[in-house]
Amino acid sequence: MPFPRLTTPLAGLAVAALLAVGPVPGAQAAPPAEGDCAKQQAQVDRAAAKLERLQDVFAKAKREVRKAKKAAAQAATEEEQAEVEEDLDDAKQDRTKAKKAKKAQVQRLAKAEQRLAKCEESAEPTEPTEPTEPTEPTEPTEP
């Protein structure tokens, strides 16, 4: 039966043609529903949690640099001094990496908060303006 061999490539071509055409003209994305902001809120929560962890890593790296500097000051021989200097360089590199990661995470958190605010803003229903109270009908005056 030659049809099964033919249908798979034809189906692939049909999908490719639909993807090449792009979105249907006139079709617009609907405004996000009330629960759609949950994804953005989850991203903000994850980004904030990761920032807290990175702050701990950065604080630890700073302590390691201080510890290595103290050890460098107390080194007695040149061999110890060389070893401690190497440890100090490693600690400084770790501190720099942690600082860069923390800075990047702060930016990610800010972007996630912006997306959440935008989502919440678009999800809020626009408040209808209050109708003006009708004025009391005036009775016609007689001439």
As given in the structure block, the two tokens for residue 59 are: 């604080």
Q: What is the pLDDT of residue 86?
A: 93
Whole-prediction pTM: 0.58
Distance of alpha carbon 25 from the chain centroid: 30
Highest mean pLDDT among 18-22, 30-34, 36-40, 131-135: 36-40
Q: What is the pLDDT of residue 132?
A: 62
Residue 1: count other Cβ atoms within 10 Å of its Cβ.
Answer: 5
76-123: pLDDT as tens digits: 888 988 999 999 999 999 999 999 999 999 999 999 999 999 999 887
Residue 98: count other Cβ atoms within 10 Å of its Cβ.
Answer: 20
Mean of the per-residue pLDDT values of the chain = 78
Confidence of residue 19 (pLDDT cuts 50, 70, 90): very low
Q: What is the pLDDT of residue 59?
A: 95
